[in-house]
Each structure stands twice: as structure tokens, then as C-alpha cells.
Structure 1
Amino acid sequence: MDLMVGGSGPAAQGNEDSMEIAALPYVDERTELVAADADAVWRAVGDVLDGAFGSGYARLVGCPHRTASGPRPPAEGSVWPGFRVDSATPVRKLVLTGRHHFSTYALVFRLDEAGAGRTRLRAETRARFPGPGGALYRLLVIRTGAHALLTGRLLSSIGRRAEGL
């Protein structure tokens, strides 16, 4: 698994009504090579997201989205605690956005064919951390490595689920 931090990173694009995702500062990108085709990985993304985010944390930090709802597999209108689907291109790209008291953020999943029934799954994070509370939150979540660890675990879970399908 690779981690790239800093720089401008790839631009995440949403629809015109969405927040300006590309304007959010690039945080990092993590990658997982999955021994499954993109269809299985896409299904696994939705399955794993359904159990990945708790409403308690979303409530604590002030996220407007606190419960999972909407269509499955992921599509515009899908929601998980802390996230809503900004755009979804099945088997290719899923853009999740969110906000809370300390940050405005996007998590962009990209699925790329990697040959012979394999898929490269990427998760790009973009976020803004305004004010002193945001700076402290960034220190606690990003600088400590907690975000990288949790995103890596999320990608590994998606990979294991897809390989089991």
C-alpha cells in the first residue's frame, strides 16, 4: 500500500451543485491492489462503507449526516454518517463529501483495471481545517497518522471483501 502526502494531488470532480472539491487542499492518497474485478470491488466498497462509520462520532463532531440511508449500491443520494455521495460513476469513481465543526472534506474512491482480474483501488482525501479548532483537529487526525491508518484499514477491508465475492 502506498501513501502520498502533500502536493496538489489529482483533482476530484463532482457535479455543479456540489462543493468545490478540487478547491479543497490535497491531504493524501492511499492505494490497494485487489485480486478481483472492478464489479466485485465496487460492490465491496458499498458493503464495507455500510459498516464503517459510526453515528456517535458524526454526532460528536457535528456532522449533518448521522445515519446511513439512500440507495445501495452507492449512488447520488446515498448517505453514511459523516458523508454523502456527491457523485457516483459505477465501477469507476465514488465521491463522498462531508463537513463538521472542524473540517470540510472529500473522500474520492477510484477503481482502475490493473490487468488479469485485478483492480487498483485508490482513496484520495481532500480537506480544509478552518480556525484554531480545525488546526487542532488536523494535528490529532492527520499529523498523528490516524487518518492514514484508518483509510488503509478501510481499503484493506474493501479488498478482502471483494476477493471473497
Structure 2
Amino acid sequence: MKTESLEIDERFGQEYKGRYVFQEMTWAKRNRIIQKHTKYSKATGEVESSDFIAIQAETIWASLKEQPQTKPISLEKLLGEDIGVPVELGELFSKIANKLNGMSHEDLRFLLEQLDEESRIQLFKSFGFVKPSGGLQHSSQDSPQKPSSNSQSSSTS
């Protein structure tokens, strides 16, 4: 199965510094995660709702095979709204997990389309893409961030 390792510097805080290894999960595991967080109409079989954040968090957690000895990442922290992982770190982990596990843009778009407007707005707010007035924007920091010295490598085993 494919793996990808990532070395994180202090960019996200000393707590997260270290080596992380992600591994492709099985088709069955990926689909069970999606099924677990998706509600279907009993009458039509159509998708009624889907918890995109829970799907992403569990996908990351299931793919994460190694992390620093201090174990800074947990499923609870990935799901946490008040005490969670930094947005950019969560996005980086999502990108790696989705790449390894075949979550295409179409899959993600499908899951997002299942959310009602309020849930979509909450999701975008959590990523820093919604102004208080409701318009979309890309968040920016007041001070420029130094580039991360992340080193990514892929290998197959």
C-alpha cells in the first residue's frame, strides 16, 4: 500500500513538530467511513445528509500510521471545534489522506453538495473562507509566514 511521510517544523507550533507517516487504507475502510457519516432516505435511497468534517477527520486518522512520540494528533482533536489542530495543518493532512485514498475532487464535491447551506457556510468558516457578511474570501495572515521546511516523500510498499 502507498505511504507518504511528512516532516513538520515549528510552523504550527512546537507541539506538532516531527515526522508523520500516512498510509493508504483499504477500499472497505474508506467506504465504511463514508457510510458511517452519510444518511440515506429509507424511501428513495438518496443521500439526505453527510458529515463532511467527520469523514475527513476519520480518513486522516485511519491513514495516520506514525506521528511524533508526544502523539499530538487524535481523532478528538481532528474533530475538535474549540481545541483542535491548526487549520493549515488539518488541510495539509486532508490533502495527503485524500491523495492516498482516492478521494477525488468529484468525491469531495459530491459530499459538499449533500450539506445544507448553513452547514456548508459553517464548513467554509472553519477553513477561514467566509467573511462575517457571508461573502467568500481566502483568509490571509497579518504577518507573512515563513515557508515550512516540510519534506514530503512518497513510497510504495
- Quickly name the TM-score band, shorter chain normalised: under 0.3
Larger Rg: 2
Q: Which structure: greater strand fraction?
A: 1
TM-score, scaled relative to structure 2: 0.27
